[in-house]
């Protein structure tokens, strides 16, 4: 079988969500500050802002750890609005449903101010399309997909994708095979006809490989490789544009084999 489908991760692969000079914690702190500002403007009695930011960080980071280490029983709990509700309850803040949703939007909006596309993404997507490949996206994200679609559209990255899967909407999370299976079905390709590209060796590469896809790792200094796991990508790239010769070589090899 030839290569027909290419599926991308989002954060760390096509988009950078971290503020300049900061990392994951600083990203969540920006969001928490937006959440706090919205609720303060609505007249809620709140603890000190620094305490709120710390409480939200503890809640969100522990949820991601539980997911990655297989301790999370109900993956629906990963949705951002639910995580923020848990942090609010721990702080003694009782939110109306309407304010909970609007505060979530304020959280996301603060982070969206610093979102930037990773260089080479637009060119790579277009080049893959020109090769006749079908494209999809899978993102492990607490955010509702509407926010990510808006960012992709803002940076002219949305149109090439035939299907997009955001875990908080799908109630399915990498590395579980189910979300990869949904993507290949949407593209009408077999798993062995598809490749997944992402920056996490466990969630992206290993997850894809367990579902029967090839896994390409976008090399970085934080690969998320749990202790004791030895995961070998089918290919490793440093820049998105490096994907094109990899894909071309695979396709040429498969075509030669089939002759």
14-48 residue pLDDT tens: 999 999 999 999 999 999 999 999 999 999 999 99
- Separation between Cα atoms, residue 11 and residue 141, nearest integer Å: 9
Residues whose CB is less than 8 angstroms from the CB of residue 43 and which lie 6 or more positions away in sequence, other chains included: none
The predicted model scores a pTM of 0.94
Mean pLDDT calculated for residue range 50-74: 90
Strands 15-16 and 116-117: antiparallel
CB contact at 8 A, 214 and 196: yes
Kindly tell me if the per-residue pLDDT of 150 is higher than 60. yes
pLDDT for 13 equals 97
Q: Pull the structure tokens for residue 141.
A: 């994200």
Which residue in this structure is represented by tokens 């509700």? 85
pLDDT for 1 equals 66
Which residue in this structure is represented by tokens 């000190």? 48
pLDDT for 75 equals 86
Helices 24-41 and 97-112 sit at what angle, rounded to 10 degrees? 140
Confidence class for position 201, pLDDT limits 50, 70, 90: very high
Confidence class for position 257, pLDDT limits 50, 70, 90: low
What CATH number does the domain located at 5-17+117-258 have?
A: 3.40.50.1000
Confidence class for position 70, pLDDT limits 50, 70, 90: confident
**Mean pLDDT, the chain, whole residue set:** 94
Q: How far is residue 134 from each of residues 158, 173, 186, measured CA to CA in Å?
A: 13, 22, 10
Kindly tell me if the per-residue pLDDT of 258 is higher than 90. no
- Most confident range, picked from 68-72, 73-77, 177-181: 177-181
Kindly tell me if the per-residue pLDDT of 7 is higher than 90. yes
- Separation between Cα atoms, residue 237 and residue 196, nearest integer Å: 12
Question: 3-state DSSP call for residue 19?
Answer: coil
Class of residue 153 by CB neighbours under 10 A (exposed 0-12, middle 13-18, buried 19+): exposed
Mean pLDDT calculated for residue range 75-84: 93
Helices 49-68 and 24-41 sit at what angle, rounded to 10 degrees? 130
- Separation between Cα atoms, residue 173 and residue 139, nearest integer Å: 8
Residues whose CB is less than 8 angstroms from the CB of residue 64 and which lie 6 or more positions away in sequence, other chains included: none
90 HSE (CA, 13 A, CB side) = 16
Mean pLDDT calculated for residue range 236-257: 87
Proportion of the chain above pLDDT 90, given as a percent: 85
Question: 3-state DSSP call for residue 46?
Answer: coil
Kindly tell me if the per-residue pLDDT of 233 is higher than 90. yes
């Amino acid at each position: 079988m030839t290569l027909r489908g290419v599926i991308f991760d989002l954060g760390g692969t096509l988009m950078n969500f971290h503020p300049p000079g900061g990392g994951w914690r600083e990203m969540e702190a920006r969001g928490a500050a937006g959440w706090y500002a919205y609720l303060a403007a609505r007249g809620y009695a709140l603890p000190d802002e620094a305490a709120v930011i710390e409480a939200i960080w503890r809640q969100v980071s522990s949820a991601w750890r539980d997911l990655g280490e297989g301790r999370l029983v109900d993956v629906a709990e990963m949705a951002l609005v639910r995580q923020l509700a848990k942090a609010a309850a721990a702080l003694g803040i009782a939110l109306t449903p309407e304010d909970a949703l609007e505060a979530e939007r304020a959280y996301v909006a603060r982070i969206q101010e610093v979102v930037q596309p990773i260089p080479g993404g637009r060119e790579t997507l277009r080049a893959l399309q020109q090769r006749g490949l079908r494209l999809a996206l899978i993102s492990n994200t607490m955010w509702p997909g509407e926010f990510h679609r808006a960012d992709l559209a803002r940076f002219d990255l949305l149109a090439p994708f035939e299907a997009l899967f955001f875990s908080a909407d799908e109630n399915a999370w990498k590395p579980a095979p189910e979300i990869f299976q949904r993507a290949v079905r949407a593209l009408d390709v077999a798993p062995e006809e598809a490749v997944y590209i992402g920056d996490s060796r466990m969630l992206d590469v290993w997850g894809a490989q367990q579902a029967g896809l090839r896994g390409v790792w976008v090399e970085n200094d934080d690969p998320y490789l749990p202790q004791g796991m030895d995961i070998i990508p089918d290919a490793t790239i440093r820049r998105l544009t490096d994907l094109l010769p990899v894909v071309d070589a695979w396709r040429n090899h498969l075509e030669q084999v089939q002759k």
